[in-house]
Chains A and B, each alone.
Chain A
Amino acid sequence: MFEGVSAGFAAAFSIANIGYLIVGCSAGTLIGMIPGLGPMTAIALMIPLASTLEPASGIILMAAVYYGAIFGGSTSSILINAPGVASTVASSFDGFPLSQQGHAGKALAVAALSSFSGGIIAALMLLVSAPLLANLALSFHSSDYFALIVLGLVSVAAFTGRGELRKALLMTILGLMLSTVGTDQTQGIPRFTLGLVDLIDGISFLLLVMATFAISEALLAIMDPARGRPDQDTKKLTSLKVSKKELKDITPPVLRSSLSGFFVGLLPGAGATIASFLAYGTEQRFANKEARDQFGRGSLRGLAAPESANNAAATGSFVPMLTLGIPGSGTTAIMLGALIAYGIQPGPMLYISEPVVFWAVIVSMWLGNTVLLVLNLPLIPYIARLLTVPRTALLPMILFFSLIGVYLVSFNTFDIFLMTLFAFCAVLLRTCGFPMAPLILGFIMGGMIEENLRRALLLYDDSWSFIWERPSTGTILLLAFAVLVWPGVQSLRERLKAQ
Chain B
Amino acid sequence: MAAPPTLALANVSKSFGAVRALRDVSIELFAGETHGLAGENGAGKSTLVKTLAGVHRPDSGQVLLGGEPVDFAGPADAQQAGVAVIYQEPTLFPDLSVAENIFMGRQPRRGLGRIDRKSMHARTRELFGRLGVALDPEQPSRGLSIADQQLVEIAKAISRDARVLIMDEPTAALSGHEVTRLFSVAEALREQGCALLFISHRLDEIFTLCQRVTTLRDGAWIASEPVDGLTHDDLIRRMVGREVATLFPKEEAAVGEVALKVERLTREGVFTDVSFEVRRGEIVALAGLVGAGRSEVARAVFGIDRWDAGSVTVDGATLPAGSPTAAMNAGLALVPEDRRQQGLVMDLSIERNIGLTGLRELRRGPTISRRAERDRARDWALRLQLKFARLADGVGVLSGGNQQKVVLAKWLATEPSVLIVDEPTRGIDVGTKAEVHRLLSELAGQGIAVLMISSELPEVLGMADRVLVMHEGRLAAEIPRAEATEESVMSAATGRAA
The judgment on whether A and B are partners is no
| A→B interface (CB under 8 Å) | none
| B→A interface (CB under 8 Å) | none
